[in-house]
Chain A
Amino acid sequence: DAGVIQSPRHEVTEMGQEVTLRCKPISGHNSLFWYRQTMMRGLELLIYFNNNVPIDDSGMPEDRFSAKMPNASFSTLKIQPSEPRDSAVYFCASTIHREGNEQFFGPGTRLTVL
């Protein structure tokens, strides 16, 4: 079975440009999470969805960040406009919505904003 799929794997862009990261969760999973990993802050949750509905977006840094989940098999994380401090690895994870369930992570998207 395919795991969580993320695209692109690497993205290099210039400050001010719009960036869209994509995620396809594991089939049958109904919760999806976006995390960001940086040297300074480690792994931190940005937002999570349950049954395509955003449940907790308290980790979204600012209005430049937005996330959508139009259906059970696709989610996007958009940064507009991007800034150099957004450079990080962005992970998508999915699970079956049940307290304490392990999350399965995608390979991540390494974003570099110049």
Chain B
Amino acid sequence: AQKVTQAQTEISVVEKEDVTLDCVYETRDTTYYLFWYKQPPSGELVFLIRRNSFDEQNEISGRYSWNFQKSTSSFNFTITASQVVDSAVYFCALSETNDYKLSFGAGTTVTVRA
């Protein structure tokens, strides 16, 4: 069963628009960890953020913000005032208790047009 679902395959926006990426996860564990990674056109995977299941505080880092809601099993990511450099594939991932691997979603391709 898919543990992480990113329903949006592609999103295209014009520069300065906000864009929100959805991530829904599935786990039976009470302790788990959620991540977002960015994969720019150059291909590397860049770590953006980690949250644990006990910390539902939303987080803001510059133009990036994350909304974690256990009630809906979602960990959504918003880019405010998007820029062309934000164009990339964004992956949401889950790590469960005593399981150190990352289970990735299918990714959402974000294209920001000038």
Please, how many angstroms separate the alpha-carbon atoms of A105 and B42 in the complex?
A: 13
Q: Could you tell me the distance in whole angstroms from the C-beta of B93 to the nearest C-beta in chain A?
A: 8
Nearest residue, chain B, Cβ from A58: B101
B100 touches A48 (CB 8 A): yes
Taking CB atoms, residues of chain B closer than 8 Å to A35 are 102
A45 touches B102 (CB 8 A): yes
Taking CB atoms, residues of chain A closer than 8 Å to B14 are none
Taking CB atoms, residues of chain B closer than 8 Å to A50 are 100
Known: A43-B91, A100-B52. A107 touches B102 (CB 8 A): no
Q: Is B61 an interface residue (CB 8 A)?
A: no
8 Å CB contact of A89 from B43, B104, B105, B107: B43
A99 touches B106 (CB 8 A): no
**Interface class of chain A by DSSP:** strand
Q: How many CB-defined contacts (below 8 Å) exist between A and B? A: 57
A102 touches B50 (CB 8 A): yes
8 Å CB contact of A103 from B47, B97, B106: B47
Known: A42-B106, A43-B104, A45-B102. A100 touches B95 (CB 8 A): yes
Q: Is A14 an interface residue (CB 8 A)?
A: no
Nearest residue, chain B, Cβ from A89: B43
Size of B's binding interface in residues, CB under 8 A: 23
Q: C-beta contact mask, A79-114 vs B, less than 8 Å → 1, else 0?
A: 000000000010101010101111111111010000
Q: Could you tell me the distance in whole angstroms from the C-beta of B68 to the nearest C-beta in chain A?
A: 14
Q: Is A75 an interface residue (CB 8 A)?
A: no
Please, how many angstroms separate the alpha-carbon atoms of A43 and B77 in the complex?
A: 19
Taking CB atoms, residues of chain B closer than 8 Å to A103 are 47, 102
Taking CB atoms, residues of chain B closer than 8 Å to A48 are 100-101
A residues within 8 Å of B by Cβ?
A: 31, 33, 35, 42-45, 48, 50, 55-56, 89, 91, 93, 95, 97, 99-108, 110
Known A100-B33, A100-B95, A102-B35; further 16 A-B contacts with Cβ < 8 A: A42-B105, A42-B107, A43-B104, A43-B107, A44-B104, A45-B101, A50-B100, A91-B45, A97-B100, A99-B31, A99-B95, A99-B100, A100-B50, A102-B47, A105-B45, A107-B43
